[in-house]
Structures are given as structure tokens and as C-alpha cells.
Structure 1
Amino acid sequence: MKTLYNSLTVFLLCATTAFAQVPNKQDQINAAIQAAPEEQQAGASVLGYDVEGKLVMLREGTNELICLADDPEKDGFSVACYHQDLEPFMARGRELYATGKNHGEVFEIREKEVKEGKLKMPDQPTTLHVLSGADGKYDPATGKVTGVNFRYVVYIPYATAESTGLPIRPMVPGGPWIMDPGTHRAHIMISPPAPEKKGN
């Protein structure tokens, strides 16, 4: 009986610790919307995590952006906001990754489903804003995220270097280029260099 009691205690302590790692709802919202342009932050929908680590809708929005809170189970910090027309593509990716599929498998499955008309991609260029960093963190006291950098992704399905005039690699640090050209997830990448750290 003592052994069973001790095991149960350890389980409950571990479970409590795991749940405690998930920030509260408002902190998740405040951190997630910082990936969005300032004028769109107040009206963005926000997906985040409940106490069990399940992805849920934390806030219904009033504009075209959906923001994704930082995953407490992953190292570093990463939040993103994207146009609502990308949600079928994003949701399908989350669904496939949850089953253990790797990046290559997810790419192939979505490519096939788009071509078959089972998965809808936006008809117009649509943007994903990413705010991330290996040492990034959100400070509830200041309401600010530090240790992060922006990255911008503009999806243009099946676009190519020829159709856009873009290079297939950055010509200068942070310059735009086209990634995965000619596929369903062809997109313009813009990754501004991280600000240089000031000396002591």
C-alpha cells in the first residue's frame, strides 16, 4: 500500500509540474499577438494551450489574423500569426505532425491533397509572421518578449523564380527569396538579421 501511495504521489507531482509549465490564458494571448502587426493585434484570434497541453481557441478574433501561442513542450520560444485563409493548410500540418509524420512526409501528403482538391490553399498571396528565438521568453511583468527575431513568409502556391523574379536564395542578409518554388507551399522568405548585441 505504501509503494502504491508513493507512486501515486510521484505521478500527481509530475502531472502538476507538467500542467504548471503552461502559461495562463492571458499571458499566452499577450505573447502570441506580438508576432502580428501592431494595428492587428487587438482583433486577432489566438490559438493556445489548456492545462493539459491541448491546443484550443483562447480568443475569438474580429479580423483576418490567427495567432498561435508558444508551445510549452518545445525548446526556445516561437509564436506566429497568419492570414485566416492559411488555416486549412496549417491545421492539416498540425494534424499530420501529431501522428508522428516527419517534415518530408507532411510536405508530400499536403502536396498530393492540394493537387487532388482535398486541401484548399489561398487564392491570393497570404502572410505568416513568425517571432522566435532559442533564448526567447515572455515577461508577464513587462508584457514584452525578448531574445527573439522576426521572420516573414508570404505563401504564393506554385510560384517560381521565373514567375516572381525572385532568387532561390537570399542575395543579401535578410533579402527576400523564394522557397519550395513550383509547389503548393511555394513562399517568399524574408528573415531580417538579428540585431547585434551591444557590448558591456
Structure 2
Amino acid sequence: MKRLITTIFLSVVLISCNSSGKDKNETDTSSATEAAIDSASIDRKNNYVPIDTQEALIATSLMAAPAASRAGCKVIGYNAAGELVTLKEGDNEFIVLADDPNNATFSAACYHKSMEPFMARGRELRAEGKTAPEIFDIREEEAKSGKLDMGKPGATLHIYYGPNNRYDPETNKVEGAKYRYVVYLPFATSESTGLPENPVGPNHPWIMNPGTHRAHIMISPLPEKE
């Protein structure tokens, strides 16, 4: 009788140990699986690679344009020799100035084609070695005299910029990049628009360079949350 009781007791203990070991293995396996899923999720969210091809440069620079207009935008940019070339032909109202691939940061701009004389004049003066204040004064004088066409009042400039030159190939989003919008109203003032001359808070429009040829409404949206 004692032998039978001892046998039953040992069997129960053995079954209990095996069960505990199985539960522990299942817990360890489950934790490892969850960790792998979390890691894969992080990798997907941070799938950034260098912008190292012309196709990637065009795709990321087009992010500066309104989504509905990207396919029809003309894209211009600088080649390795520093020459301004057409990277992509377009047929709508926008021109995109691509990011400079030789710069460690990222900056692309999309503007209404009526502003091309103003933008082109700025590039021309910079190529001549003129400083920012000199460019401002020259274009101010030329705009006042009517020599420089400032484009249609209310023409917009869309800027997509950030501290890195890496992007996500699935979305074409550039790492850490955000938007800024500029609405040009040459010679407009705070009085003529009702806008303050300084930002009163994040995400609020204000007028910059009031009363000059470069008077424009600044709009800096808050960055998207990752």
C-alpha cells in the first residue's frame, strides 16, 4: 500500500514539473515572438535609405508639391557640374526645384510657374556671387520699375525641408522633413491684409517683408506626429 501511494505521489510531481516547464517554454517563445514583431514594426516605421538616385531625388522633391498635382509638375535641379537642368518635364501650373544632392540636409521647393522670372533672377544673381541683401535690393528696384515680373498676386511657394537626406522608398517621405507655405503678395502690408508682422503662435499665418516686393504670408504648419 505504501509503495502504491509513493508511486502515485511521484507521478503527480513529475506531471507537475513537466507542465511547469512547458508553460515556461511557451511564455519564453511568446515573449520572443512579440519582441520580433515589435522590432519588425519599428523597422517598417524607420525604413529610411539614402537619396542616391535621380529617381529618388525626383520622387522626394515632388513631395513639396500638392499631392494631386505631383504627376504634372516640372522638376528642375542642379547636376554634378552645378548646371540647372530639367529632371522631369511637366504640364501643369507648378515648377519644383529639387533638393541639392551635394547638401547633407534636404530642401525642395514647389512654386507657381508665374513666379519663374522672380525665382530665376534670384538664381542668376546668386550665381554672380551677390549676397542675400544685394539680391533683395536689386530685385526690389527691378520690381518697382516693372522690369521684374513678380508673378500673379497670391502665387504660392511650397517648401519641404529637413535635417536629413534619407527617405522611405515606400512613401517618399524624407526623414524629419516638414512643410512651410508662402503666399506672395508684393508690396502688401499688415494694414492691407490684416495680418500681424510677427507670428503670434505656432501654426499661425503672418506677413513677412511687408511693403516690399518680397511681401509674403508665412504659414508653418506644426510637424506631423510620428
1:22 CA drift (Å)? 8.8
How far apart are the structure 1 equivalents of 2:197 and 2:101?
33
Give the conservation status (yes or no) of the 8 Å contact 1:137–1:147.
no
Give the conservation status (yes or no) of the 8 Å contact 2:51–2:167.
no
The equivalent position to 2:89 in structure 1, one of 39, 60, 63, is: 60
3-state secondary structure, aligned to 1:56: strand
Question: What's 1:12 paired with?
Answer: none
How far apart are the structure 2 equivalents of 1:65 and 1:96?
22
Say how many residue pairs are matched.
177
Question: What's 2:68 paired with?
Answer: 39
Question: What's 1:69 paired with?
Answer: 98
Give the conservation status (yes or no) of the 8 Å contact 2:61–2:98.
yes
Residue 29 of structure 1 pairs with residue 63 of structure 2: no
Q: Read off the aligned partner of 1:46 and give its amino acid letter.
A: V
Please give the residue correspondences for 1:1-200 in structure 2 after superposition, counting only pairs within 5 Å: 23-140=52-169, 143-195=172-224
Mark the CA change 1:149 to 1:116 in structure 2 (over 3 Å): closer, same or farther: same
How far apart are the structure 2 equivalents of 1:60 and 1:190?
28
Moved more, 121-130 or 45-54: 45-54
TM-score (norm 2): 0.73
Q: Give a deviation string over 1:104-133, Cα, whole Å, max 9, x none.
A: 111001001111221101232100000001
Give the conservation status (yes or no) of the 8 Å contact 1:47–1:57.
yes
How far apart are the structure 2 equivalents of 1:120 and 1:143?
34
Moved more, 156-165 or 188-197: 188-197
Higher strand share: 1
3-state secondary structure, aligned to 2:181: strand
Give the conservation status (yes or no) of the 8 Å contact 1:22–1:53.
no
Q: Aligned Cα RMSD in Å?
A: 1.9
Higher helix share: 2
TM-score (norm 1): 0.82
Give the conservation status (yes or no) of the 8 Å contact 1:155–1:186.
yes
What runs of 5+ residues in structure 1 fail to find an aligned partner?
1-20
How far apart are the structure 2 equivalents of 1:136 and 1:22?
6
